[in-house]
Structure 1
Amino acid sequence: MNSASRSEQYLTLFRAALAQSARHGEALLSHVFLVTRRSLAQEFNRATGQHEHAQLGLCIKLLDEKAAALCARFPVLLRQAFEDKQAVSSQFGELTLGELSHRQLENMDESQVQERVEFARALQLVQSIAQQSLSELNGCIGTLLGLAHVQPERNPLRPQTYLTVLQEVLLQAAVPIQVRITWTQHLASGLGDALKSSYSALAQKIKSYGVLPLPAGEPEKPLVAARGQAAVHWKNGADETSQQPSVLTLNRLRELLADQTDSQQEVAPDEAVTQFAGALDWNVADTADASPTPDFAQATTDFASTVPAAFEALQNMNQADEEVVPLSQRQDTLMDKAGQAESTRQMLRKSCQSSAQVLSFEVMVQMIDNLVKDTRLLKPIRDVIANLEPALLRLVLVDPRFFNNKQHPARRMLQEITQRGLVFGSADTPECARFIRSLHRYVNPLSRIQIDSAEPFDLALFNLNNMWSEQVIQSQQTVQQAMRVLNRVEERNLLAEKISANLDLIPEMRQVPASVAEFLCGPWAQVIATAELNNKTGGTEDPGGYKNLVNLLLWSAQPELTRKDLGQLTKLVSKLLAKLREGLGLIDYPAVKTSLFFDALMKLHQQAFRPAPDASTVAPRIDKTNLPGNHRHWLAPEEAKVSGFMEMPDDFPVNRPVPPPTQGASAPSLPSLEKLVVGSWVEIAIQGNWQRSQLSWISPQRTMYLFTGVQGQTQSMTRPSLEHLVHTQALRLVSEHSMVDSALDEVVHTAMRNSLERGQT
């Protein structure tokens, strides 16, 4: 059996496996519900409290009433999930830790958080029960899909899909949330056993057709690390010896993100904080004669005069440093101070005088750690963020709005630093050096002044934006100009496609050489579309008379017809060529291509003055199926220049070699172009080098994409070109979301792991 036949057979087996699993869904869920009811009944008999007894009774009653309808609905949504190769839309996403973001969490209430934790816990149990048979099935599915190695996430039958679909079924049936939570606690074991049997039977069935499963890869990472490894503890500094360690849980984090923590009054810093504020002046040569640190109230009152003055002095010192100390040595200096980080945290941690302060402090510590570890940012930029940590820690002790106010000055500043920093894939550029200098000048001083409000961060952000403003304005103007051009390009190309489809219906299109048919369906369709778009006033069906030229051109390109009326051909030629030149000038069609087409057309005209050839030598007519169908996007040379259009050559090699990745690039490249959003950072391999760009714009019909590079230069491409880059691994995703948001999401994932491990929410 050749490879093509085998691939088709495997694809058929894959579809059959999905269909069988969907059909089996009703029986599977029915069995799970029977096991669930027995478990509920056993707990009901053991219950002693009146409330618990009533709650379990309600759960059993609703399960009896709704089980049949739920089981009938389950295979329908399951089939939809399998066909889409992903779980249906649900508040639970894929039920993996990575799917819960801080934005989702802050909009949840306590019950929703509890439900999310219970479903994640259920997934953990189901996976542990079914893991062995699932691994075998993953190998089989990998072979059917033609994968080189096992990729568990490519298996639509994975437990996440079943649980996500089950959650959607329960939501559609309006099962009360507390009932859903209780059911979830009792159904995980039964679902794990059911899937274990189903996976095993399906794997054996697939192998019976001679399918050799891929070797087992790395087992899926558990949702929860070993006990004690994932939990992040803190102690209340107010009474460290008497307090038991607490843990960051999902519900506590939700309270912070949703601004539901206990209101905290401003508290003057204790002696440790006051001493520590002076100890942070790392770059100050002599602090022995420094004045005592003012209290918070005084600092707030005198901000207008003290903070700008302090910034100016510190900035001048930084500028002097830059003239004397090379950048590499300054980085080494920062590295020498890295050992002070933990002692810094310990000193500030002791100043926490409320649980809300403790929570804010520890979340900020984790968030900064996540950013500093993120190698998508160059090390000099991460060093600046690490140096900023003490200022941010002191800030959240008095102002926790950082976490629930996306417009908070400190959050906006961190956002600007990280997002602008993503553009640099290498530090060996003048642009990167200027960017690092701006951070040293305006951000580093924050760790050497008293922080009792967000105002210093607001000032630093103001100064940074002023320094960056010229480049930002120029880049925005370039992008806006490119967007206007590409909007018109898309509008013209979509109209040209419709015109081309209508031209294709003309019978004479099958009677002319392919070069003429391609010209009419390609460039000339663009001419007609441009004329119609330029006709703002309307009033004419054929502006410019370019549609009328189609029939004349088709007649003139058929020597067997023109040979019968040479006089008409002679009169027509000069007018025809002039009109063609006029139309092609409307779209700025290249002169070389115009000449090539005219040469081919003139040869057809000259044939009319020669004797008719024998029937055996007549050129075969083109079949309708051979006519051009989807024409490539046309951009005039000036449009291509303005937008930085990147056109894929026809002979672009599918498996061409690409350079090694730069730091921070993720793999695989792009999971789906439909998920690619404006603001995403990518790397594109251009002439053997990786260049970072940000997706700045997607056309309304998603046919054109516009990227912006480090110097504000634009690069546009069509969707097929973008798909080609992804397919050949010449384009990779660096960052799909804001890095600050991603760092907070990682804190959410840690809180989820802690909640699962501790049995808390």
Structure 2
Amino acid sequence: MHNDAKVVPINKIAAHAMPSPLARLPVIVLQVRDKATQQLDRGLQELFDNADDTLFEMADKARNSADHNIFFEAMRDLRLKRKNFERVFMEQLFAAFANLGQAGQGELLLPTVSYDETPGVCADDLEKAVALEAMLDKVMHRDGLALGQLSARLGVLLGKRLDDRENPLGPAMLCEYFLRAGRSLGVEIRVKLIILKLFEKYVLSDADLLYGEANQLLAATGVLPELKAVPSRRPGERASRARPPVEAAPAVDPQADEAEQQVFAALQELLLTVRGSVAPTLEASAQAQPISTRDLLRLLSHLQQYVPEPAVEDDFDLRRQLEELLTRVSVKSGKSRVVEDADEDVINLIAMLFEFILDDRTLPDSLKALIARLQIPMLKVAVLDKSFFSRANHPARRLLNEIGTAAMGWGKRDDYQRDSLYLRIEQVVQRLLNDFVDDPAIFSVLLHEFTAFTQDERRRSELLEQRTRDAEEGRARTEQARQRVADALNQRLLGKVLPHFVVQFLQQAWSQVLLLECLKHGQHSSQWQARLRTMDELIWSVGLSEDTEAGRRLLEQLPALLKALREGLSEAAFDSFVTREFFIQLQALHTQAFQGATLASVTLVEVREDLGAVETVSLAEDDPDLLKVLQLRIGSWVEFREDEDNALRCKLTAIIEPANSYIFVNRTGLKVLEKTCTELALEFKRGGVRTLDDALLFDRALASVIGNLRQLNRAK
């Protein structure tokens, strides 16, 4: 018997007994919500993408370091909290639809502007309120009629009048969701106003589209169809951003052209061994008839329209696809249509270059899939212009190299298809597949746009890298100073028997005084030496147990000692109340020494703990993995890999002495890893790290192909 299907969990029974608030809403309202959610999500994505650029520009233009840090910290805060911000915004939107028509929307964060002096209202709140009010007024003035129609239609469905301010898609409610989502941001008022302005630009500015689509959907289902539609823009009509000017292609030098032909002729000699691999499948007796270069370009343009999506790039074999197309053309004409020798050499060479690229471990797999789609555009430009193989500054070749260089530090993530670099490369690929027919000038256009993008990213990362280096160097100086302080304390305390409260004072309080002097003036300064003498005198003063000549000398020196102690603590900003107990105990101890009393009431301890002890692992100087580490240079890219699915690509940005700490940053310039020289060598030993070849992608591929062809020729 099968009775399992009749068993219903208790939680499901409870769920049926208490229906969701959404269950009472008409389906069409939920469709309006879902449609609006898609548009709002796009707007938020655009907002955050541009917020990063805007804050970076503000930081770049900051007049002082304090403002510079404020904008950089705001960039970091937005990046960390972006997903949570978007989630809370959408939760608020869904909650507003769930409560649609219900009494009470809860406490609103949206402020009301009042220019009267109100207790508890600061200037920042007033400034934010004014900005919000202006935003709402602008939307209501521009899109108030469409919003009113939407509110009326929703009211009909709910069976009650709905005010515009209660409309879940009204500007007031949208701002409310935004304010609630932004409560987690720890940014100051200037940054908040910038973000609000971006919210207006990328979300509220498209309110007419939001209301237009919602009204159209409701009217189509018979909800107040008699209301005259308000004209609105179509979704794709936002003004496109201006493109940068494009430099004209350089003129061809006849002498250079001759040299380029010689280079290609040398390549052709090597390619003789693979010639004949691109041919139609026909009977041997069929008459061969070469097709012209122009006809070949037409065939390639036809194939270009059928290049598969990145997920299935392995299914696209350029030579096989071209063979199949040639076979179909040959069958139709009754002749064996073959490509000319020079064109076939180009086809073979491009195919071999991309075989290297798709096997290259330096390129991330997700970006290989995009780059693989460039095979036909690159083949077409090489067929048109053989200098593609010999001229290092050829626009198409440079574009491929720029993409390869930018991809060096790209690390795959779950939402990689929303990464700015991935999207930019995808845009380049799609433009070439859609627009490149036979005019190579498009490569110059795309090269200019892509290098402008990468230079901007590089400039940002360099600024962040410099901040990272400065911070790490500062931290290293502090650690070095701490070690010097620890050495000084160890030298004076280890093995000695001293009052416990004095040892505690030296380790917890006076060590901070020494640290400050070492950082400010260095270990060779007179200030540092003076603080050491004060410590020595303190230790000497508490070691006296009888009324001796030394005790009388202490009586003379004590005022200066106490003064030096208080000055040091004051300079280090120690709270006088915190150290008050120490001076009381010290006075009692010195009084006993003057009176010749024993120190029976004083707790004595023998100092045995080494404050600076560090356990290290050493490797031989000629250890091969240690030598690999020592050969790393600043700017080298490496990949740390825990397993097949988890890898971290990062760049060596600094080697901090004297600890020999290697600091690594990601593509954006943020610190992601720190390793000592020994730790890195051990990573190399276990195979957990490898260096990435940062030579130009096309040059590496061409060198590899030439090497393989030479081997094939020698084998024959």
- Normalised TM-score (structure 2): 0.43
Larger Rg: 2
- Normalised TM-score (structure 1): 0.41
